[in-house]
């Protein structure tokens, strides 16, 4: 699995007009809540830096990260859709972006380790996934699900039991399985780490099958 990541501290962001294109700025102006504005900008700043490094571009305005209706980011480099895979996440003062030249599919998620009530566990996880317990394990499991949902590109529209991760192995059902098969059933790798102390971070990545190469 080969990808590059960038972590951005949301308390140290450059001014928006220094990094956003006019199209991005037009969307940014529509965001009303300061937290959402900061996260949106931070995620873009992170992804633009990763892509700038991969593509040797220094003018971050040439790298646009627009938003599709589903919420999925859409990367435009010098006016053209590129062939990179990429993903954005933000949580509790940090934004992280990842991009890859070699992985066809990518989804990432960052979550602060926190204690959650029992009902949350029952609502969001299939019993098969609960091979361990504890805040760290459950937060990690949550990031794995979210990273997989982003890789599939569906966001909120899937039920949590349609996307499971059992000891690091993804298992899809229902609509998630259909979407996964439409992508060519790529072999997926799910890797979780403590990228930032006190947080869990997962990268789900898949390489293209022949049909997609
Ligand atoms: C997309 C989703 C996973 C967002 O997760 P989140 O943990 O709330 O937020 P994160 O900060 O990690 O990620 C947000 C980023 O995901 C990206 N994203 C949003 N929708 C996406 C989609 N359909 N596909 C891929 N990426 C998407 C965006 O880049 C977004 O940041 P931006 O709007 O600033 O560009 C969304 O499905 C969600 O809010 N889920 C909430 C819980 C849930 O029911 N999960 C189901 C688990 S199976």
Q: How many CA atoms lie within 13 A of 98 on its CB side?
A: 26
**Predicted confidence (pLDDT) at residue 128 exceeds the cutoff of 80:** yes
Residue 1: pLDDT band (50, 70, 90) is low
pLDDT at position 209 is 64
CA distance 45 to 175: 33
Ligand 1, closest atom to CA 142?
Answer: 47
Q: Are 2 and 101 spatial neighbours (Cβ–Cβ below 8 Å)?
A: yes
Tell me the DSSP string of 47-115.
Answer: HHHHHHHHHT---GGGEEEEE-TTS-EEEEETTEE-S-EEEEEEETTEEEEEEESS-SEEEEEEEE---
Residue 158: pLDDT band (50, 70, 90) is confident
Dist. CA 21 → ligand 1 center (Å): 23
Domain 109-203 sits in which CATH superfamily?
A: 4'-phosphopantetheinyl transferase domain (3.90.470.20)
pLDDT at position 213 is 46
Dist. CA 163 → ligand 1 center (Å): 14
- Residue among 153, 156, 164 whose CB has most ligand 1 atoms within 8 A, to mutate: 156
Mean pLDDT of 126-135: 96
Residues written for the chain: 213
CA distance 108 to 151: 8
Residue 148: pLDDT band (50, 70, 90) is very high
- 3-class secondary-structure state, position 5: strand
Nearest protein CA to atom 9 of ligand 1, as residue: 89
Mean pLDDT of 73-82: 95
Lowest model confidence (mean pLDDT) among 27-31, 159-163, 165-169, 196-200: 159-163
**Predicted confidence (pLDDT) at residue 87 exceeds the cutoff of 80:** yes
- Residue among 155, 163, 190 whose CB has most ligand 1 atoms within 8 A, to mutate: 155
- 3-class secondary-structure state, position 207: coil
Report the candidate in 122, 109, 121, 193 with the shortest Cα–Cα distance to residue 152: 109
CA distance 74 to 76: 7
CATH of domain 1-106: 3.90.470.20
**Predicted confidence (pLDDT) at residue 36 exceeds the cutoff of 70:** yes
**Mean pLDDT for all residues in the chain:** 95
Domain ranges of the chain: 1-106, 109-203
Dist. CA 150 → ligand 1 center (Å): 6
- State the DSSP H helix or E strand holding residue 118, giving kind and residue range, or none if neither: helix 118-124
Helix then strand then coil, in percent of the chain rounded to 5, is: 40, 30, 35
- Residues near ligand 1 with C-beta < 6 Å? 39-40, 43, 67, 70-73, 88-90, 109, 145-146, 149-150, 153-156, 158, 160, 163
Backbone angles phi, psi at 171, to 5 degrees: -140, 125
Mean pLDDT of 138-160: 92
């Amino acid at each position: 699995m080969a990808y590059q990541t960038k972590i951005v501290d949301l308390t140290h962001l450059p001014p928006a007009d220094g990094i956003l294109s006019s199209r991005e700025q037009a969307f940014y102006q529509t965001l009303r809540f300061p937290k959402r504005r900061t996260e949106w900008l931070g995620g873009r700043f992170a992804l633009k830096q990763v892509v700038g490094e991969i593509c040797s571009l220094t003018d971050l305005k040439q790298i646009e990260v627009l938003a599709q209706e589903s919420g999925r980011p859409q990367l435009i480099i010098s006016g053209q859709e590129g062939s990179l895979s990429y993903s954005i996440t933000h949580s509790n003062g940090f934004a992280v972006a990842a991009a890859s030249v070699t992985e066809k599919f990518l989804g990432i998620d960052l979550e602060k380790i926190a204690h959650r009530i029992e009902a949350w566990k029952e609502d969001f996880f299939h019993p098969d996934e609960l091979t361990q317990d504890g805040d760290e394990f459950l937060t990690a499991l949550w990031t794995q699900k979210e990273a997989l949902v982003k890789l599939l590109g569906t966001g909120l529209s899937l039920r949590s039991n349609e996307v499971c991760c059992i000891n690091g192995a993804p298992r899809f059902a229902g609509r998630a399985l259909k979407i996964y098969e439409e992508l060519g059933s790529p072999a997926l790798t799910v890797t979780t780490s403590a990228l930032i102390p006190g947080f869990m971070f997962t990268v789900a990545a898949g390489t293209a099958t022949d049909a997609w190469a």
